[in-house]
Amino acid sequence: MVFRLIIVLFFFSVGAFSQEKFIKHKISKGENLTVIAKKYGLKAKDIKDANPDAPKVLKLNSILLIPNKNSKSGQNSPAVANNTSGLHEVLQKETLWGISKKYNVSVDDLKKANPALETEGLKIRQQIVIPSANSIAVSENSAKNADAEKQETIQSTDVEVAVEVQPKETKYAIAKKYGITVKELEKQNPFIKGKLPVGYVLKIKTTKEIADAVNAANSPQAPIQEASASSTQIADNPVVKKDSTFVYYGNHADLADQLISNATENIGTRYRSGGTTKAGFDCSGLMFCTFGNFDIKLPRSSIEQSRIGTKITSTEAQKGDLIFFKTNGRRHINHVGMVVENVDGEIRFVHSSTHGGVMISSTKEPYYQRSFSQVNRILQ
């Protein structure tokens, strides 16, 4: 009896020892000693030594003993391999997510280490690079350092200037002078979103070069330069009267977008006859206020606005043009809006409607299709 007990204890201790020293691995399709060794961070010779009776050609679903480097972690599932840089051979049905979990790295890190994955995807038996934790940390640190250096460079070139608002100055004129948009100006000085009080000091962040150029232009020591500067300003942004028509000449690559942005910020504001503020707009009041915010003075009524600029066909209409209508069976123009886009013969425009306030409508709507009159170009 005692002898049998000794035999049982012996086999139990051997089994515990083997479990502590080795991990059992079931061979999957496409695996060989090299692939399995890489998966566990070992050499093929280590696995071969642990399995002296294993055939040269591994059989599917047979079991191999894998030497366990760390006896404590050896009891865990072998699905997670050591995070050391190396190669991984893609097996059937494997995914990037599965491989990332196996090697304890992120999918993004795998894509960065293997740029071809973005366009070609995973392929069976493809060798992909597994980044190590150290290489990931180094790349992240270098990216952070580059961003920090970039921020320092930007901060070193940006300056803050104090600008006192002068009578008849507009947000657009100030923003243009300092090389920023009206939105950026309002973001830096939130209190001016409603009004622009004369005499108030604005704080504007701009580049040192622009600030120096503005200071030089305002300096009284060079009257000849001042004269040339003023002539340049007039050439860049004048309102010219020609054959009873007022046309805006100048660089307006992004002006149309800013006009649309300014007008559409009022969407939802109610209709108010004679209104030119956020308390309420009529159709011509919305155009008068929007263009006025950018130093472009329009007449006050829709019929007068229809007589300025250059009359164009509806197919030529583009962003920033004025579009006119004769509504309610009227013989003369009595409604105006601003073109937001013209796609496939459909003109969408922002306007203040008597029944809906500030909104965007379309010439495909039967009401506006029937009452359409003309399109005028103000920005030349």
Q: What is the DSSP letter of 269?
A: P
Q: Locate 109 and state its tokens.
A: 């890190």
Q: How far is CA 38 from CA 27, 75, 93, in A?
A: 14, 19, 19
Say whether 375 sits in a helix, a strand or coil: strand
Give the C-alpha separation, 113 to 65, whole Å: 31
Q: Is 358 exposed, middle or buried (0-12, 13-18, 19+ CB in 10 A)?
A: buried
Contact between residue 340 and residue 348 where contact means Cβ atoms under 8 Å apart: yes
Query: Catalytic one among 25, 88, 252, 283?
Result: 283
Is-catalytic flag, 289? Answer: no
| Other beta carbons less than 10 A from residue 32's beta carbon | 12
d(CA 177, CA 137): 44
What whole-number distance in Å separates Cα of residue 86 and Cα of residue 348? Answer: 57
Let me know if 88 is a catalytic residue.
no
Which token pair is 337? Answer: 């809006």
Q: 335 an active-site residue?
A: yes
Residue of 150, 157, 95 whose CA lies nearest to 126: 95
Are 307 and 322 in contact by the 8 Å Cβ rule? The answer is: no
Query: Known catalytic residues?
Result: 283, 335, 351
